[in-house]
Every structure is written in C-alpha cells, then in structure tokens.
Amino acid sequence: MTSKATSIDIAYRAGVSQSTVSRALRNSPLVNLETRQRIQAIAKELNYKVDKNASNLRTQNSLTLALLICEDPTNDDSMINPFFLSMLGSITRATARQGYDLLVSFQQLSTDWHADYEDSNKADGIILLGYGDYMDYAHKLETLIEKNTHFVIWGAEHNNKAVLSIGCDNHQGGLIATEHLLKLGHRHIAFLGDASGHSPEFRDRYLGHVDALTSAGITANKQLQHHAINTEASGYDAAMALLDAGITFDAVFTASDLIAIGAIRALKKRGVLVPEQVAVVGYDDIPVASFANPALTTVKQDTKYAGEILVESVLKLIRGEEVSQRLIQTSLVIRGSCGANIDER
C-alpha cells in the first residue's frame, strides 16, 4: 500500500524547508509567487491534502470565514435580499479557491459578532452583507473595531476610515440611470427610495440622480421623491402615493429592482402604460429583472467581482497586509421598461 505524501516529501522535492511548504500551501505572500506555484504543483502531483484540523491547531486559525447576512423582509421564507443571493455564490467560490470554509448565518442571530465568531475561533474574519437601519448598525461596527476584529462590509464608504468597506459606486449608478432617462427626453423624473442617512447606499443613488438633473439644468422636485424600503410592497405603496399626489411625472428611477417591480405593478393598476407613458429604471439587476413585464432597465452591480474583492480584502486583513476601501463601477442594462427591446451593456 502506497503511503500518503507528507509536507516533508514536498519539501524534499522542492528543495525548500517544511515551513516554506506550509506557507506556500496557505498562499502566504512571504513566499514568492514562483516558489509558491512550484510547491503547489508538486503537492498536486503527489495528491497531497492538507490536514486542516492539525494545521488549525498549530496556527490557531480556523481557516473559516463568517458571512453574516442581514435578515430582510421578503416575499418568501428566505429573508435574504435577492441581490445578496447572487453575491453569495461568488463569495462561496472565492472562499473555496483560497482554501477556506464559509460559515453563513444571519446578523440578527448574534449580539456580539466578535465573541461568537473570531474570539471563539469559529472564524478568522467576518464579511457583512446588508445592515437594515444604518443608524442602528454603526455602533456595532465601532465595537468590532475596538476588539480588533478582521471584518469587511459591503456598502457605502464609512466615515470612520478604520471600517473597511467594499461597494459599488452608487452615486455613479444614480447618475447614469438619470442621464439615460434625460437622454430619452424625460424631464419630470421621480425617485422612489430612502434618501436619508438611514440608508446611505440609497441616499448616494439619489444624490447621483439629483446631480444628473442639475447638470441638465433641472431643479430636483422634492415632491417627486417618495420614501421606500427594499421590497416590492414598499415600491407599490410609494408609486401609489406618487400617483395620488397628482404631480406630473414621465419617468421613475427607483433605488432597487424590487422597488421598481412594485412600482410598475402600481402604475399598471392605475392604467398607466410602461414605458409608453412612464419609463422605469431600477437598480441591482437581480435575476427577476429581465423577466419582469416589461423587462426592467436597471443599474447593474457586478456581484461576481464584488464577492471576489470581499474575500480578498478580509484575507488581507487577516494576514496583516495593507488594504483599502474600494468602489466598483456600475453599468446600465437597457431593457423594455424604457422602451428598448434589447440589452445594452
């Protein structure tokens, strides 16, 4: 019976120390790329498998990341924002490629994220998706900083530079959405979404919208902004309130696709044709957006790239490497809700 290969065998073949092998198999930057690749190739050739339990005991690392998702109101039992479901797949793949496991839970199930995950050695770092009311959320981040937790959040840039945030450029997204509607000739463009500090991502989308109007010589009409949270029901109610207000509008830009889908349903119920009478643009490009009727024009966030950057960033924090906040550019996907029948990316 052939004996199982060990790290000593790999070290002998590669002409390096056993500790160098260990570092290379963990993708440590302390080993140069060429040596890392040579050692990893030898390990693959010898069918070497890392004993994670033994390795974890030696390093006091769990080789696990915790992904904590904010529980949101949804139409099904998932309680997960559909946008985050798309990102979940990317984060899972990126984590696995780095040799880590992924522990997924809801943020609301814990009152002390540091104690329940990093301090208990369940996870070496934490990725946070979603936050509910940002005013309530901010103090939890301050607690994580005080305890030197390795964590990264998906969202708007935080005013505390000690908080590492990765997110899409929401201001740019709001800008390109409104610029597209202006290019189509619309001049009375409503915004549905929370434009306050309680939801900084929605607020930045609104500010991009306002800047696009200003550049076109149009003053934003506060009566055309109606509050909505990220649900279809809220979008429906906001659109109904807009219609009941009797204010003239020829287009609607919403802070999310779910809000847009609810708004379209309200417009249809009132006999308003989309896009013939009112054009609609959403935000996120969740899977259902292309199946809406009409198919939804929307601002696309690159969930695949975002997931990869989130994992890469938290691992850099764990390794003590320099890492900075990132803003990912958005793009516009043009579909039928603005009068087009094809996708333009």
The tens digit of pLDDT for each residue in 77-108 reads 767 888 898 899 999 999 999 989 999 999 98
> 34-66: per-residue pLDDT in tens?
998 999 999 989 888 765 555 544 456 789 999
- Name the token pair of 243: 């219609």
pLDDT, tens only, 239-275: 999 999 999 999 999 999 999 999 999 999 999 999 9
Quote the DSSP letter at residue 72.
-
Helix/strand/coil percent split, the chain, to 5: 45, 15, 40
Tell me the average pLDDT across 150-170.
88
- The pLDDT assigned to 2 comes to 53
User: Average pLDDT of the chain?
Assistant: 89
If you average pLDDT over residues 168-188, what whole number do you get?
A: 97
Q: What is the pLDDT of residues 275-289, one digit of tens each?
A: 999 999 999 999 999
Confidence of residue 238 (pLDDT cuts 50, 70, 90): very high
* Structural element, H or E, at residue 97: helix 82-97
The CATH 3.40.50.2300 portion of the chain extends over: 64-167+302-328, 170-301+332-338
Say whether pLDDT at 125 is over 50: yes
Residue 171: enclosing H or E segment and its boundaries?
A: helix 170-183
Domain 170-301+332-338, second-level architecture? 3-Layer(aba) Sandwich (3.40)
With CA atoms as reference, report the closest residue to 253 among 173, 331, 146: 173
CATH, domain 64-167+302-328, list 3.40.50.1820, 3.40.50.2300, 3.30.70.2190, 3.40.605.10: 3.40.50.2300
% of the chain beyond a pLDDT of 90: 63
Spatial contact of 235 and 174, defined as CB atoms under 8 Å apart: no
Give the pLDDT band of residue 344 (cuts 50, 70, 90).
very low
